[in-house]
Chain A
Amino acid sequence: MSFIQLNDIVKEFHDPVRGTKTLAIDHVSLSVEKKEFVCLIGPSGCGKSTLLNMVAGFEKPTSGTVLVGGQPITGPGADRGMVFQQPNLMPWLPVWDNIAFALKLKGLSKTERQQAAQPFIDAVKLRGFERHFPGELSGGMAQRVGIARALLQNPAVILMDEPFAALDAQTKLEMQEELVAIWEKYNSTIVFVTHSVDEALILGTQIAIMTHRPGKLRELIKVDLDRPRDVTSAEFNQIKRHVMEVIKEEAQLAREVAPI
């Protein structure tokens, strides 16, 4: 049995005001082995974030089951780490306290929390900024804090919802490189939602392409390129061309079904 398992997921959204039902996800099954880095990609509105939110526990499937480490997901919890699109840090807590927030909830003392946070502060290269408040950090630094917080909760399962989408191109490249290093260091299993084909190809061991709404799994591609990934190599661009064609086709179909 796989480490993260989505079994035959269906998600229907009800709009009680309009009395309509929207089928968002249509029978998706996905298995993620330990230490895989899966990038979920697809046209906007395909339900990739919804799928991730189900693994996080924020949404429940209408039918089907989500299992992590053999355990069914009943709600959000500290056994998985999540990195959001916005850093979502508590602005009143300094960096170290944000990273160790889960331990604060467990009632650990200040020194215990500081000690526990330090290796993760070092891992995301924020040494020297422990006592800064989130308002004093740049976007990239704030997102590093978000990653460190997720790692502290559980480095084994990291869920990421377009975490680099709001960063500038240069910072984005640096963060992608560092994320790969972190993933290798902690042997993490990562599910990463993105809309950037480049990002998916730089990061992932697998790329799951979804169809337009209602989202189905269209294709699962294994990416066996050497790291660090060379974005100019022929192999890289061969896969990229294929993925882009598929997404373009799906986006085209999406427009035919419902104009955006």
Chain B
Amino acid sequence: MSFTRSFTQYLGRFWVPSLLLIFWEVFSRSGYIPPALLPAPSRVFMSWADWVFSIDEFTQDNAGHWYLDAFASSVRVFSGYCIASLLGIGLGVGIGWSRIFEKTVEPTLQMLRPIPPVSWIPLAIIWFGIANKPAIFLVFLGAFFPILMNTIHGVKTVSRDLLRAAAMAGATERQMLRFVVIPASMPSIFAGLRIGVGSAWMLTVTSEMVAVKSGLGYVLWDSYYFLRYDMVIASMISIGLLGFLSDFGLKMIMHKLLRWQQAGTLQGVNS
């Protein structure tokens, strides 16, 4: 009884996507618009399978190259994201903790923040040339600010009472940072890291459009020139999937590190 009920509930979440897929399939096969402009989901799936496993060479040069493309994009995202995390958390803790540091650094950063990462492309290319570096730079720009802002917020909202307790235990300023401020800011920092990883993947297409000749974003843009909309959609789904997996990984780390946060809420009070 309860099994069948939970099973039907489980199925419930697939209703909407299934209906959408069926509608999409029927619509693109109806001949209402040329199938090349809106390939059916079955077509996208087959192309994607060929891109990954090289089944029928339907995707020509790309057949079997998915892993290389996914790897190339992942390396760029990972590099840019790591730099963004290190700088974002480092500067964020500094700005949140020290008034002087905040006054000297924050206005500049806040002025740079609203500039769209895309608008850096010309400068990024003349600074870094045509290779991985400008792409990594753009990913960095996208991920940096959400991580920075959330870290600042986390550090500024550390409870004064906890700092008093630590002071009473004899903590020096450095010890306060290490043993109170940083652990207390962890939930905010992770919120920033999760937003940041999304922004990082969002910038793959933009950064690979201009400066490099590999990666999922490059395949997407290249397929557009050849009117291969099946591959365009397959690239979009690939980016979405990798973004989802990165976020999932972060979530796992977060659950491990922030075990204390779930302690009281999920499992109830063990008294």
Q: Report how far A93 CA is from B166 CA in the complex, Å.
A: 13
List of A residues within 8 angstroms of B6 by Cβ: none
Interface string of A115-135 (1 = CB under 8 A from B): 000000000000000001111
B179 x A105 contact (CB < 8 A): yes
List of B residues within 8 angstroms of A149 by Cβ: 165, 169
B269 x A104 contact (CB < 8 A): no
- Chain B's closest residue to A82 (CB) is B168
Interface string of B231-271 (1 = CB under 8 A from A): 00000000000000000000000000011110111010111
B164 x A101 contact (CB < 8 A): no
List of B residues within 8 angstroms of A138 by Cβ: 269, 271
Interface string of B147-171 (1 = CB under 8 A from A): 0000000000001011011111111
Number of A positions contacting B (CB below 8 A): 33
- Chain B's closest residue to A146 (CB) is B165
Q: Report how far A214 CA is from B267 CA in the complex, Å.
A: 49
User: Which residues of B, 74-112, contact A by the 8 Å Cβ criterion?
Assistant: none
Q: Would A101 and B265 be within 8 Å (CB), given that A88-B161, A137-B271 are in contact?
A: no
A133 x B161 contact (CB < 8 A): no
Q: Report how far A103 CA is from B260 CA in the complex, Å.
A: 21
B168 x A91 contact (CB < 8 A): no
A78 x B269 contact (CB < 8 A): no
A76 x B168 contact (CB < 8 A): yes
Q: Report how far A90 CA is from B171 CA in the complex, Å.
A: 14
B165 x A84 contact (CB < 8 A): yes
- In the assembled complex, how far is the CB of residue A75 from the closest CB belonging to chain B, in whole angstroms? 8
- In the assembled complex, how far is the CB of residue B9 from the closest CB belonging to chain A, in whole angstroms? 30
List of B residues within 8 angstroms of A57 by Cβ: 167-168
A102 x B271 contact (CB < 8 A): no
Residue from the list B168, B186, B270 in contact with A92, Cβ < 8 A:
B186
Q: Report how far A76 CA is from B167 CA in the complex, Å.
A: 6
B168 x A105 contact (CB < 8 A): no
Interface string of A144-161 (1 = CB under 8 A from B): 000001000100000000
Interface string of B204-237 (1 = CB under 8 A from A): 0000000000000000000000000000000000
B168 x A77 contact (CB < 8 A): yes
Q: Report how far A90 CA is from B172 CA in the complex, Å.
A: 16
Q: Report how far A90 CA is from B167 CA in the complex, Å.
A: 13
B260 x A102 contact (CB < 8 A): no
User: Which residues of A, 42-79, contact B by the 8 Å Cβ criterion?
Assistant: 56-58, 75-78
Residue from the list A92, A133, A153 in contact with B184, Cβ < 8 A:
A92
A84 x B164 contact (CB < 8 A): yes
Decide yes or no whether A86 CB sits under 8 A from chain B. yes
Interface string of B28-61 (1 = CB under 8 A from A): 0000000000000000000000000000000000
- In the assembled complex, how far is the CB of residue A59 from the closest CB belonging to chain B, in whole angstroms? 11
Interface string of B168-189 (1 = CB under 8 A from A): 1111100100011001101000
12 further contact pairs, Cβ within 8 A, besides A88-B164, A91-B184, A102-B170: A56-B168, A75-B167, A78-B168, A88-B162, A91-B260, A91-B261, A92-B258, A105-B172, A133-B259, A136-B264, A138-B269, A149-B169
Could you give 5 example pairs across A and B, Cβ below 8 Å?
Answer: A84-B161, A90-B165, A101-B169, A102-B170, A105-B179
Sort A-B residue pairs by CB-CB distance and give the 7 closest, nearest first.
A135-B264, A78-B170, A133-B263, A102-B169, A76-B167, A88-B165, A133-B260
